[in-house]
Amino acid sequence: MSVARLTALSVYLTVLVWVVVTDGLPVERTMVIAWLVVAAVIVLGGRRPGVAARAVADWLPVVLVLVAYDLSRGAADGLGMPLQLRAPIRADEALFGTVPTVWLQEHLGPFGRDVRWWEIPVSLVYVSHYIVPFALGVWLWTRARSRFSWWRDRFLTITAIGLVGYVLVPTAPPWYASRLGELPEVRRTASRGWQELGVGIADRVFDLGRAAVNPTAAFPSLHAAFALFTVVAVWRGARRWVRPLLAAYPLAMAFTLVVSGEHYVVDILAGWAVVVVAVMLWRRLDRWVVPWRARRAAAAAERDEVAAVVAPTAPPPDAPPDRGLPRPVWLLAVGAAVVAVASRMVRIARPDVLVFDEGYYAAQALEVAQHGVEVGHSVHPPAGKWAIAAGIRLLGYSPWGWRVVPLLAGAAVVGASVVAAWRATQSRWWAALAALVVLTDGIAVTTGRLALLDGLVALWCTLALVCLVNLAAHPFDAVLLVRTAWWAGALFGVALATKWSVVPVWLAATGFVAWLARTARLPRRRPLLVLGLLPVAVYALAYLPTLVAYDASAVARVACADGITCADGPVDRVRAVVHDHREVLRFHSDLEPSNRFAVSSWNWVVQTQPTELWREGERRVVAQGNPLVWAVGTAALVWCGWWGFARRRPVPLLLALTALGWWVPWAIVQRPGYSFYAAPLVPVLAVGVAVAGVSLPAAWARRAGGALAVVALVGAAVLAPRWFGW
Amino acid sequence: MPRRVCRAVVALALTLAVAGAGCGVPHGDTDRAEVEARTCASFLRRSGRPFDPAAVDPAVFARVRAEFLATGRPFSTLEPFLKACRSLG
């Protein structure tokens, strides 16, 4: 095993142990997949080139369908499908004359404080649902691609059928029916065995797996389906003496589900039927799919062979590449920025009060302008406040003063999106469409005319994206690689000193540059050092004013009140800043959703839960994107992800990584978020649309782009009063 | 204009703008109290609670902020504003 892989494995195991100790065993299904796949990639890394990209391309559909499962509750609610409460009870009574769950709990209960021995295997079998199917999938993935494809096709089909069931027939499980008075007392007992084992994962399993996600996802039972499917997948290759044990697994799962009050027998039978349907269906589909895949694999192998011959020998161009922008693109970028300023400055001083988090940021910016530091305690680094302060210094503490810098930043985002889109596509038409998408997006508009930090983060990160897209378009340019590292590093540094949420995107960008340099066989130590360390240095620099004007700062007050230090020597000041960071981290970790407009990042895709920023009477300011444009943009980014990971295309890969960097952390963390946190994602979405659009067949491309432009403009016309508070 | 000169001018302008941000704001405290009074009136109108618009005086906000500053204790940016506003409606 190479030193690099050994190091990666050590880091992996260290982090895994840390996570298990601090947070319990990971049981959320997408996290389980992530842990297993990363382990497989590290182990296989040295033997199979491109295994990481292949892992993402192969597992992305599985993760997406599991995410769709988590969203199915919302879909069922949205469609207004009636909850099935009595029907499964009647079905079980018709089969057994009674409800087996109730009968079992009456005869095996009561479930008091003491846990019986058989409740431990029940808990183990229940939790195996979250690990065993995916462990099998990853194992097959490491063994043979054809076997993994077999497993994945059927797994996705089973899950998809299950999803349809949850959306169309939301069904209450026995414990829920009991709470609603349709059954005698039914207790949820599947977690009791964990109490006996003393393993602290039970609550999280049950929160994540059942109640928090979709408590009415009972019919069909995917627990039962996955257990049977796992056995079907390994049955042929299993030794004869193992087969009785395998056969016992779905039966044990069925008993577990019924006795613990999670499912009716009819749910389990439906789950098993889904497996049969999926297997039969694919037996027919494989006649076409298997030969088609073989043809594609042969074509891809041929392409890779050509690439392997071409890539290493592609010399750096003799003459410096043309990195300048054509004049029409400059004009387009400047023109789009001017339109942004002109359209967003309309009544920018209305409302003439502090809107939403302007109450913090505008006020802190004033304090920065007056004292050089924030006097009231702040939970974000100071760079954004310094930027807003420049406007206040110029125009006074008025709505124009605190909103002029975000206005200019928002306009610059529009212009930068044009440049990024043109760099990515070399098409002025698609660059113009990208500009239109950003110009007409409600998130971009509201953050581009209010003193919120997210508009400023969007600016720094979009400028960094421009640099990185340029690099992705010139992957063999060693000079550009170093230059990009400096520019992107500085920009990520300023963004990081505005809001910490930039960290995942910065790490994703660093990973991308490492991959690109390795693929192009360019020296990568220096650019990676620059991209890794420069943002940290810029971040530290942002605290220089705090160290200088320390006495007036909230940092000094907090350090003294908390007993860290009341002195103001150089070391005390640094200690106070470090303590302040700990306090801010604790604030963000413990933050409870206190605003009813806090929304999950899952909703960014459909934009149906906008954050209301201000309201008075009938007038409201709402941060909401055009749902259709966001849906198309998300589809474009998913396509970029597939294209980038599977075909190793730098520009789509960069866009997909950047989008994931913005989206995934907010999807995972429990901290409440707001719709306008998506502001830095808007330009990525717009460039993604351009990249996806330019790859469409020419006959469709213009029509699709034109249709999207119409949708964006009509949406803006309809939604603009909500963005502007008219 | 050569590109290098252009970049230098932009960098200088940005540096001056940001560095100049910390040079003070004329009437900053007065303006802040007025803005907070307007924002408070908007909150109270929105809440539907009865309040006397004439009582929403910027001087109240300036006084409460001065009290917070005088304690030497840490406080959140919005704390003085919220305390003053709650006292009015």
Within A28-152, strands assigned E span none
Taking the CA of residue A495 as centre, how many other CA atoms within 13 Å lie in the half-sphere pointing to its CB? 28
Range with the poorest average pLDDT among A49-63, A370-384, A410-424, A510-524? A49-63
- Of the partner residues B25, B45, B74, the one whose CB lies closest to the CB of residue A557: B74
| Rounded distance between C-alpha atoms, residue A590 and residue A603, angstroms | 22
For residue A142, how many other CB atoms are within 10 A of its CB? 20
Rounded Cα gap, residues A231 and A320, in angstroms: 60
Q: Do A377 and B18 touch (CB under 8 A)?
A: no
Tens digits of residue pLDDT in A371-384: 989 999 999 999 99
Tokens read off for A650 = 């730098």
Q: What is the mean pLDDT of chain A?
A: 85
DSSP state of A605: G
Q: Which of A387, A397, A398 sits opposite B18 (nearest CB)?
A: A387
For residue A24, the model assigns a pLDDT of 67
Question: Which of A325, A330, A352, A366 is the best substitution to test chain B (most B C-beta atoms within 10 A)?
Answer: A366
What b-and-e string marks burial along A624-650, b requiring 16 or more CB atoms within 10 Å of the CB? bbbbbbbebbbebbbbbbbbbbbebbb
Query: For A614-644, what is each residue's pLDDT tens digit?
Result: 888 888 899 999 888 999 999 999 999 988 8
Chain B residues with CB under 8 Å of a chain A CB are 17-18, 20-29, 31-32, 35-36, 38-39, 42, 45-46, 69, 72-81
Token digits of residue A464: 């960094």
Q: Which position has the higher pLDDT, A100 or A215?
A: A100
Q: List all residues 6 or more positions away from A553 whose beta carbon is below 8 Å from its beta carbon.
A: A371, A373, A374, A375, A546
Q: Write down the pLDDT at residue A195.
A: 65
Residue whose token pair is 């109108």: B45
The closest CB to that of B46, out of A368, A377, A615, belongs to A615
- Inter-CA distances, A312 with A305, A306, A315, A518, A649, Å: 12, 11, 8, 11, 16
- Å from B81 to nearest chain A CA? 9
User: Which residue from A416, A458, A340 is spatially nearest to A687, judged by alpha carbons?
Assistant: A416
Q: Tens of pLDDT along A274-297?
A: 999 999 999 888 888 888 888 877
**Quick check: helix, strand or coil at residue A673?**
strand
Q: How many alpha carbons fall within 13 Å on the CB side of residue A652?
A: 26
Q: What pLDDT sits at residue A203?
A: 47
Q: Which has the closest alpha carbon to A162: A256, A87, A78, A272?
A: A272
Helix, coil or strand: residue A48: coil
Upstream peptide bond of A220 is cis (omega within 30 degrees of 0): yes
Give, rounded to a whole angstrom, the gap between the first and last alpha carbons of chain A.
65
pLDDT of A361 > 80? The answer is yes
Nearest to A397 by CA among A370, A374, A423: A370
Of residues A287, A263, A280, A170, the one with CA closest to residue A229? A280
For residue A80, how many other CB atoms are within 10 A of its CB?
A: 6
Q: Which residue of A has its CA nearest to B16?
A: A390
| CA separation for the pair A584, B77 (Å, rounded) | 14
Query: What confidence score (pLDDT) does residue A206 get?
Result: 45
Inter-chain touch B46–A616, beta carbons under 8 Å: yes
- Residue given tokens 């009865």 in the structure block: B50
**Cβ-defined contact of B77 to A359 (cutoff 8 Å):** yes
Look at residue A355 and tell me whether its pLDDT is greater than 50.
yes
- Weakest-pLDDT range from A183-187, A476-480, A565-569, B12-16: B12-16
CA gap A227, A236 in Å, rounded: 16
Q: What are the residues facing A601 on neighbouring strands?
A: none
Higher pLDDT, A23 or A510: A510
Contact A253, A206 (CB under 8 A): no
Output A190 or A679, whichever has higher pLDDT: A679
Helices A650-668, A681-694: inter-axial angle, 10-degree rounding:
140
Tell me the shortest Cα–Cα distance from A680 to chain B, in angstroms.
21
Confidence of residue A368 (pLDDT cuts 50, 70, 90): very high
pTM of the model: 0.68
| A227 CB burial (10 A radius; 0-12, 13-18, 19+) | buried
* Contacts with B23 from chain A: Cβ below 8 Å: 369, 393
Burial of residue B82, with CB atoms counted within 10 A of its CB: 0-12 exposed, 13-18 middle, 19 or more buried: middle
Convert the pLDDT of each residue in B15-71 to its tens digit.
766 666 666 788 889 999 999 999 999 988 888 878 888 888 999 999 999 999 998
DSSP-H helix ranges across A525-569: 525-542, 544-548, 554-561
Residue with tokens 């410096």: A320
Among A376, A392, A545, the residue with its CB nearest the CB of B25 is A392
Residue A131 phi, psi dihedral angles, 5° rounding: -125, -50
Residue bearing the bigger pLDDT, A544 or A188: A544
Confidence grade of residue A207 (pLDDT, cut at 50, 70, 90)? very low
Q: Is the pLDDT of residue A211 over 70?
A: no
* Contact criterion met (CB below 8 Å) for A175 and A183: no
Go through A56-72 and write b for each residue having 16 or more CB atoms within 10 A of its CB, e for each that does not.
bbbbbebeebbeebbbb
Whether B8 has a pLDDT exceeding 80, the answer reads no
pLDDT of residue A189 exceeding 90, the answer is: no
Which of the four pLDDT bands, split at 50, 70 and 90, describes residue A558?
very high
Identify any residues that bridge with A521 across adjacent strands, giving them in sequence order: none
Contact status, residue A376 vs residue A495, Cβ threshold 8 Å: no
Residue numbers in B near A372 (CB within 8 A): 22
**Percent of chain A scoring above 90 in pLDDT:** 45
Q: Is the pLDDT of residue A201 over 70?
A: no
User: Minimal Cα distance from B18: which residue of A?
Assistant: A390
On whether the CB atoms of residues A19 and A26 are closer than 8 A, the answer is yes
Q: Percentages helix, strand, coil for chain B, rounded to the nearest 5?
A: 70, 0, 30
Asked if pLDDT for residue A72 goes beyond 90, the answer is no
On whether the CB atoms of residues A509 and A657 are closer than 8 A, the answer is yes
B81: which chain A residues are within 8 Å (Cβ-Cβ)? 359, 363
Of A439 and A306, more confident: A439
Rounded Cα gap, residues A104 and A96, in angstroms: 12
Between A493 and A46, name the one with better pLDDT. A493
Name the band, by pLDDT with cuts 50, 70 and 90, for residue A158.
Answer: very high
Task: Enter the ipTM.
Answer: 0.88
Please indicate whether, in this complex, the C-beta atoms of B72 and A398 are within 8 angstroms of each other: no
Which chain A residues have a beta carbon less than 8 Å from that of B21?
Answer: 365, 368-369, 386-387, 389-390, 392-393
Helix, strand, coil percentages for chain A (3-state, nearest 5): 75, 0, 25
> Under DSSP, is residue A249 helix (H, G, I), strand (E, B) or coil?
helix
Assign A76 a pLDDT band (cuts: 50, 70, 90): low
Find, among A58, A159, A36, A49, the residue nearest to A642 by Cα: A58
- Compute and round to an integer the Cα radius of gyration of chain A: 28
Residues of B in contact with A351 (CB under 8 A): 42
Task: Give B24 to chain A, closest Cα distance, Å.
Answer: 4
Spell out the residues 6+ positions from residue A693 whose beta carbon is closer than 8 angstroms to its own: A425, A430, A433, A636, A701, A704, A705, A708
Q: Which chain A residue is nearest to residue B33, measuring alpha carbons?
A: A397
Average pLDDT over residues A16-33: 75
pLDDT at residue A338, rounded to an integer? 96
Average pLDDT over residues A52-79: 73
| A641 φ, ψ (degrees, to nearest 5) | -60, -45
Separation between Cα atoms, residue A472 and residue A512, nearest integer Å: 9
Instruction: Report the pLDDT value the prediction gives residue A210, as an integer from 0 to 100.
Output: 43
Give the burial class of A85: count Cβ atoms within 10 A of its Cβ; 0-12 exposed, 13-18 middle, 19 or more buried: middle
B32/A557 Cβ within 8 A: no
- For chain A, give the percent of residues with pLDDT over 70: 89
Task: Report whether pLDDT(A610) > 60.
Answer: yes
- Residue A351 to residue B42, Cβ atoms within 8 A: yes
Q: Residue A591 and residue A602: Cα distance in Å, rounded?
A: 19
Confidence of residue A308 (pLDDT cuts 50, 70, 90): very low
CA distance B39 to chain A (A): 5
pLDDT of A13 > 90? The answer is: no
Residue of B21, B73, B76 with shortest CB distance to A390: B21
What is the per-residue pLDDT across A392-436, written as a single tens digit (0 to 9) for each? 988 999 999 999 999 999 999 999 999 999 999 999 999 999 999
Give how far Cα A496 sits from Cα of A458, A502, A505, A685, B14, Å.
11, 6, 10, 21, 18
d(CA A271, CA A277): 10
Q: CA A406, CA A397: separation in Å to the nearest integer?
A: 15
A598: closest CA among A528, A516, A654, A669? A669
**Residue B19 confidence (pLDDT):** 64
Label residue A658 by pLDDT band (50, 70, 90): very high
In sequence order, the 6+-apart residues with CB closer than 8 A to the CB of A714 are none
Does residue A528 sit in helix, strand or coil?
helix
A15 pLDDT more than 80: yes
Can you read off the two tokens belonging to residue A143? 């063994």
- Calculate mean pLDDT across residues A656-675: 84
Residues in A closer than 8 angstroms to B18, CB to CB, are: 386-387, 389-390
Block residue for tokens 């009415």: A216
Cβ–Cβ below 8 Å for B74 and A386: no
Give the pLDDT score at A164: 85
Q: Annotate B39-55 with b (16+ C-beta within 10 A) or e (fewer).
A: bbbbbbeeeeeebeeee
Mean pLDDT, residues A327-352 taken together: 93
